[in-house]
Structures are given as C-alpha cells and as structure tokens.
Amino acid sequence: MHSILTTPKLAEKDVFNSFLVRNATYDGREEIPRLTTSNLLPEKVITFSKARSKKDFDSWIHFYEHDKSFECFWKNPQKYLPIIQQYKGVISPDYSLYYDMPLCMQIWNTYRGKALAHWLQENGVEVIPNVRWGDVRTFELACYGVESGKTIAVGTHGCIKTIEGRKMFVAGFDYVINKLYPQKVIVYGRMPDRIFNLAKMQGIQLIPFESEFSLSHPKEVN
C-alpha cells in the first residue's frame, strides 16, 4: 500500500521556500515560475553584496557574482526585502549553471532564481529576467518563465574565456534570442562583436555594463 504525501498544516520550517511561488504560474514540465518583465531600464547597476551596505538607491541590483555572495538571500529572503525595495529594481538572481553540473542541479538553480524574482515582484519590485544556460540541455530551460519580445539580461563574465566556453555561450545565446525575440538585452561583462553580431543584425538593442572585475583588472580582461 502506497502512502500519500501531504503538506502539514503547521510546518515548523518551510525548507523549500514554497512561499516564494505562492500565486505563481509555471512554464515547462520543470515548472519554472513565470515572470513579468519590467518596462524600465537600468542606468546604473550594483552587486547584491554591495547593495546590502551602500545606499546607491538609483541603481538596479544584480547577482553577477559568486553564488556564496547571495546564498544568504535564498536562506532568508524576508531579511533582505526592505533593502532591495529601496532600489530601482532587480535583475533576477544568477545562480551558477556549470557544464559538468548534474542536470537536476541546473534545473534547481534555474528555479531558485525565478522563484526569488517572482516573490520580489509580488512585493512590488521591478524585475528584469536574467537568462542563464549551462550545457545544451538547458537552452530551452533558460527561456522558461521569461516573456518574449521584452528585455532580458545576460552575464558574460567567466563564460567566454575558453574556446569551449565561447562556443557554448554563442550557441545558447543564439538559441535564446531566436526563442524569445527580445527587444533589448542587458549585457553584464565583455560584449565582443563576434559573439553579439547576430543580435545586432536582428536590430536588438544591446545595453552594456562592464563587470567590476573588468573595471578593476583592465589588462587581464583585454
């Protein structure tokens, strides 16, 4: 006889942060939360880790930094909500998707970023979806929950250093723009013509922001 799993009426701790997706609708078999893309655009951006202590409130918060820098946000979203709400908006969390990472973990990290972003929207925060892919199995997954014909954001820092990395990034980016037809793409990090030519040819507006690493290590980037 099979047991039936039920949700306890009074759970001691919501270890899966299920409250984040209350009222959410989903895309795909993996059920990635859908986002509504802001019509606003950032003029300045700041990392989540710096936004916690600075007061540059005319900026948008982004998460293009090591996962450990914002794992605290997943563990305790309510703690950081009042800080985030003071800023202009957020580019949705960018959890790592490595090529050698098991697919289930790539799905989980994709879900986490969209779940947090959905919850922020429910709390009045403007959101632009970050689109992140790992290996070829995640190209479609990266598009789940993202509105077509709007603005998306991508991060290139650390993704295009090697030949293999560049090939995977180009393949994934070409897939994304042909799937979502974005009007605008925010690019955090290097924006080489050889990678973004297709987007330019399609009339997509590219909005670049240099990474903090490139600003502090220009020789290493160039």
List, as one string, the DSSP characters of 116-127.
HHHHHHHTT--E
Tens digits of residue pLDDT in 33-75 = 999 999 999 999 999 999 999 999 999 999 999 999 999 999 9
203's tokens: 């009339």
Give the CA distances from residue 52 to residues 20, 32, 59, 60, in Å, rounded to whole numbers and listed in that order: 21, 27, 12, 12
Against a cut of 0.85, is the pTM above it? Answer: yes
Burial bucket for residue 151 (CB in 10 Å: 0-12, 13-18, 19+): buried
Name the DSSP letter for residue 21. G
Rounded CA-CA distance 188/153 in Å is 8
* Mean pLDDT, rounded, for 183-203: 91
> Domain coordinates of the chain in residue numbers?
26-221
Q: Which residue has the higher pLDDT, 83 or 222?
A: 83
Q: Which residue has the higher pLDDT, 63 or 160?
A: 63
Beta-carbon neighbour count of residue 73 at 10 Å? 22
**Residue 76, SS3 per DSSP:** coil
Tens digits of residue pLDDT in 116-130 = 999 999 999 999 999
Rounded CA-CA distance 221/112 in Å is 30
